[in-house]
Structure 1
């Protein structure tokens, strides 16, 4: 299999952490891709018509894309139990919360990086950050018992999302007022899979 890949992408990181945690890293060749919302890499576009990473090219079967689809496939392939049936809806909702947080954080970077400076909307940026902030508050107030439970995909998604905030939005000081989430991330970030995939 081949993974269309960019190490700075938090969604690629989510897949990479999953590969490490499920013991499948050596099964996947990583193909670095330079792409953007306004200049899609041709090889990536042929694998994923919407031109986004990650995309997992399989030898038998169509290419898989969207990190949630890829991670679900990898978990099933390894029978790793990262989507535990007993708490599947909680796990999926936590993963969706983390991915929504990350989507909004990426959107801020895109607004600042790809839109002409005179057209950058601070109102839009702050609206995106409000989504991030609400998600962080929900994690702090509603999800700590789940985060402190057995490893699942919700936790991996949260860890990668918070790592992206540190990487691209450290000036926002997301930890302030969220001591439980901050302490959890300090511990989770020391996992081998997280250290091996930390952007920098």
Structure 2
């Protein structure tokens, strides 16, 4: 049984869990609830990952994989899946959306951290909001392509990024910024893999 350092609130963990559901590998994962706060390194987690970050996957033989991108690719190989297209245009589009979604998540988490400071820097929060709005408009233009291409790691990562906006940035009202993307996301949320991994507090 593989051990996954896990949190129900982390969008990066959600990405791994969506892949696990799509690849029918959930039963092979032991979920270990792990808190990875930026200012409070988790000593137990650091025994497996010195960076104190989640997700972290400990394989059956004790070998440890860091970072959601690496873990998702490992699961795809393990499950003989097709979430990472092997060649051609589909490969590069999937990897591009993967990077795009991760970039949105990186920016959103930094944005949230800044907003929660006692004295947020307006120039910084404004810059994060501008980047997010511009990203959403770009993806809105690509909504048709998202709909037409087979499910990939790119779709999953974009979906997790949008789910994180729902969870932490409801006030942004991103669906009014990207209505076509919102339609695609509604269909994506209907997948069991996304229904079973909705972020929750606690």
Q: TM-score range by the shorter chain?
A: over 0.9
**Residue aligning to 1:165:** 165
TM-score, normalising length: structure 2: 0.92
Q: Which residue of 1 aligns with 2:136?
A: 136
Indicate the RMSD between aligned Cα atoms, in angstroms. Answer: 1.4
How does the TM-score come out when normalised to structure 1? Answer: 0.93
Q: CA deviation at 1:6?
A: 0.7
- 5 Å-filtered alignment, 1:68-147, equals 68-85=69-86, 86=88, 87-113=90-116, 115=117, 117-118=118-119, 120-142=120-142, 144-147=144-147
State yes or no: 1:58 paired with 2:59.
yes
Give me the whole-angstrom Cα distance separating, in 2, the residues matched to 1:179 and 1:146: 14
Structure 2 unaligned regions, length at least 5: none
Shift of 1:61: 5.3
Q: Aligned pair count?
A: 197
Segments ≥4 residues shifted beyond 3 Å: none
Q: Distance in 1 between matches of 2:122 and 2:49?
A: 31
Structure 2 CA distance for aligned equivalents of residues 59 and 160 of structure 1 = 27
Q: Distance in 2 between matches of 1:146 and 1:34?
A: 33
Counterpart Cα distance in 2 of 1:50 and 1:132: 27
